[in-house]
Amino acid sequence: MSTASPSGNWLVRDDRVLATLEIAATRRDRRRGLLGRDGIEGAMMLAPARSVHTFGMKFAIDVAHLDAHGVVLRMTTMKPNRLGAFVARSRSVIETEAGALARWGVAAGDVLEAR
């Protein structure tokens, strides 16, 4: 599934909806990610993923690396044209507009899920 389904996907923490969620599950969709966009309203999940880059991006993004249980392992803000860290235990990555994770109160150790 490359984008939010008609019924919608949600990024959730503690049964609280944080944002709409697009899921990039195919290799092609993960490679494309947020390239070519001017921004994102909600968030995108890349799964599986252990690292990301912002080469060719038009805006800065927040990145949260999640383990197999959805626990936030690492968070960072990346400017365009950067190579992100490889996080060995990461199984998926959440990308959103820079500043969104802080607005949503997300911290390392939180459990995020797609619903």
The pLDDT tens digits along the chain (115 residues) read 344 443 479 999 999 999 999 999 899 988 888 888 988 999 999 999 999 999 999 999 999 999 999 999 999 999 999 999 999 999 999 999 999 999 999 999 999 999 9
| Partners of 94 in beta bridges | 45, 64
Sort 60 into a burial class: Cβ within 10 Å, 0-12 / 13-18 / 19+: middle
| Partners of 43 in beta bridges | 21, 96
CA distances from 77 to 19, 44, 62, 87 (A): 18, 15, 4, 15
Read off the pTM: 0.90
Assigned CATH class of 10-114 = mainly beta
